[in-house]
Structure 1
Amino acid sequence: MATMAAAPLNPRRFPVSGFTELDPAVPIEEELLPDYIAEMYYPVRIGEVLNGRYQVVCKLGYGTTSTAWLARDLRNADDGFTYVALKIYVNRYIKRDETAIYDRIHAASNVERHPGCRFVRKLLTSFDIQGPHGKHLCVVHQALGMSMDQLLRCFPRRSIPMDSMKRCLRQFLITLDFLHTEAGIIHTG
């Protein structure tokens, strides 16, 4: 029996007024980084649809080589991936190391039954975005939960109870073992 794919979702309309606007003369977030150059970053707009599929909802974070965004996947509403995380690299990010590493992780996950592979964030796809100052690599991941730093902020004095910390460390070490022994990946950052 064949199943029919769900129809693509329509992009949501976001308000364009009725909120406080930031002063564009005051730098925020990645603009405060010492080596920040505006032309290197893709100028993402809330509500923008990228690659004909991913509608940007909000900013998740930033760094020296990329910004991260929560987006709605307008095509896969029924398979559990309604929301995704987009990582959009600066236009001068020439290496494609990250996608090559995810290829290695994917290959190791398909062959091995290591318990750590289930804790590794999967790459769903990647594509290029043409910006006003060049191309930007965009990688698409499943949207996950909070970071360890955000979790720490939920506890008084940023102190996680011992049983919770043991579970976190166990998952971390199992994942690290998978990346090292099965995928052959070592982060030397």
Structure 2
Amino acid sequence: MSHSPKDDFSHHLYEFIEEVEKLESYCVGGYHPITIGDSIHDRYQVVQKLGHGTYSTVWLAQDQKFGKYVAIKVCTANSNPHEFSVLSELSTQQSSSISLGKAMIPSVLDRFEIRGPNGTHPCYVTIPARMSLSDAKDGSYNRLFQLEVARALGAQLVLAVEYVHSQGFVHGDLHYGNVLVQPPFDLNQLPVEELYKKYGEPDFEAIRRFDGQPLPPNIPSRAVLPVWLGEASDNLKLSGAKILLSDFGEAFSPSKQQRFESHTPLVGRPSEARFEPHKPLSFPSDIWSLGCSLWDIIGQSSLFDGMFATEDSITCEHVDTLGMLPPEWWDKWEGRHDSFTEDGKPINRNPYRSWEDRFEQDIQEPRQRNGMPRIEMAERDAIFKMLKSMLEFRPENRSTAKQVLECEWMVKWALPEYEKIRSI
């Protein structure tokens, strides 16, 4: 009986290995077994592992044809190749006007399929990235970007989303884990041996079954741990802060298809996904998630507390921060009785944190503690105005990506920092 990688296995077949994909997903329909040294498509020599997702593993390889490093995303056999189509259309689109955001969309350099014991796997090749913004923060003790870097990152992310929207697509899964940092130098200058000296040799760990039985042929004998090409967020320099917006597996075109369910993590999931489940999602759903992502970039922690998050706990966070829900949503929300009076005053909770509290505790105080400048009042007010226009409960009331680009914070603070690195 075959299983998909998303199945909830009643028991685990293999001993757990941290930082490695779910090993039970090496099954029919699942991951393709790959290891260092493999030749993919008779052209790409695998030299390191970059990471994994639910539906793919990602590898750093040397293109034997051109002698360059590339990233190869090898998808599970039962994955939807939809992402290829979206990326190809976005990266080749001939826009009537020049869009800076197009430069933040990964170009598909090659596309093919490989066959193995678990099925036929779609693969696509792009330029490699160093890390995601979430990885950069995880690698930092203080989980902060320098202010000029945060501004440039925010500007690029808005530019990328505006371009995606201008081409008729909703990204559908915006969060800072899907924002990648490009290498600050030409990685191709490093021979493989030098790459290993700089970033470390490939790291393996033996895969073992709990029952001690031999491994089946559809799983590798050793797991490859991902290499760390990045650096801590607070060490990232402005010159190295160019991004790529990745993972278009949830992208869709509202004019061609209707999407009612959001798979964005709860901390950045738009409120209408819960309270208007019968209305199709559209561009404003990205704007909500974009606003949450911008806070993640500027601050130390998320705007809404995702620790042990449930739909009710996140809605409580929304109301604490942004005020009462629209009346029909408020009446529909049964969980409100445990946390609020009928007129929206918080009860049974300590501490209650307002918008201003969160800005002070998550952005200003951590920056000050770590020797970084606090955000000046004028810039703070501009950030407030921008984010609140993006985090309106009713999707029709939110700013568009184009309007966000025109707001005061983008024009006076964010875009000027990006302009400093555009030509690098």
Q: TM-score range by the shorter chain?
A: 0.7 to 0.9
SS of structure 2 residue aligned to 1:151 = helix
- The structure where helix makes up a greater share of residues is 2
1:184–1:56 CA distance, 2 compared to 1 (3 A): same
d(CA) in 2 for partners of 1:172, 1:109: 20
User: Quick check: which has more Rg, 1 or 2?
Assistant: 2
Residues 57 and 72, structure 1, Cα contact 8 Å, conserved in 2: yes
d(CA) in 1 for partners of 2:55, 2:138: 26
What is the CA-CA distance between 1:145 and the residue it aligns to? Answer: 2.5
d(CA) in 2 for partners of 1:41, 1:154: 27
Across the two proteins, how many residue pairs are aligned to each other?
157
d(CA) in 1 for partners of 2:92, 2:102: 11
Residues 84 and 141, structure 1, Cα contact 8 Å, conserved in 2: yes
Q: 2:22 aligns with which of 21, 28, 31?
A: 31
Q: How does 1:50-89 map to 2 (within 5 A)?
A: 50-77=40-67, 82-89=68-75
SS of structure 1 residue aligned to 2:73 = strand
Residues 90 and 164, structure 2, Cα contact 8 Å, conserved in 1: yes
1:25–1:37 CA distance, 2 compared to 1 (3 A): closer
Residues 109 and 117, structure 1, Cα contact 8 Å, conserved in 2: no
Q: Cα deviations across residues 109-160 of structure 1 (Å, max 9, x unaligned)? A: 5654211111211111111011112101111111122211232245441011
1:110–1:44 CA distance, 2 compared to 1 (3 A): farther
Residues 116 and 176, structure 1, Cα contact 8 Å, conserved in 2: yes
1:112–1:99 CA distance, 2 compared to 1 (3 A): farther
Q: 1:91 aligns with which of 67, 77, 93?
A: 77
Residues 91 and 102, structure 2, Cα contact 8 Å, conserved in 1: no
Q: Cα deviations across residues 65-110 of structure 1 (Å, max 9, x unaligned)? A: 1111111111112xxxx100011111111x2211110222133256
Residues 77 and 122, structure 2, Cα contact 8 Å, conserved in 1: yes
Residues 116 and 171, structure 1, Cα contact 8 Å, conserved in 2: yes
d(CA) in 1 for partners of 2:155, 2:137: 17
The alignment yields a C-alpha RMSD, in angstroms, of 1.9
What is the CA-CA distance between 1:58 and the residue it aligns to? Answer: 1.2
Residues 99 and 163, structure 2, Cα contact 8 Å, conserved in 1: yes
SS of structure 2 residue aligned to 1:158 = coil
Residues 87 and 106, structure 2, Cα contact 8 Å, conserved in 1: no
1:76–1:111 CA distance, 2 compared to 1 (3 A): farther
Q: How does 1:33-52 map to 2 (within 5 A)?
A: 36-39=24-27, 40-52=30-42
Unpaired runs of 5+ in structure 2?
1-12, 173-249, 251-424
SS of structure 2 residue aligned to 1:56 = strand
Identity, % of aligned pairs? 29
Report the equivalent of 1:6.
none
d(CA) in 2 for partners of 1:163, 1:151: 16
Report the equivalent of 1:177.
162
Report the equivalent of 2:85.
100
The answer to whether the aligner puts 1:146 opposite 2:134 as a matched pair is no
Q: 1:186 aligns with which of 170, 174, 178?
A: 170
- The structure where strand makes up a greater share of residues is 1
Give TM-score scaled by structure 1 length: 0.76
Report the equivalent of 1:165.
150
Unpaired runs of 5+ in structure 1?
1-23
SS of structure 1 residue aligned to 2:121 = strand
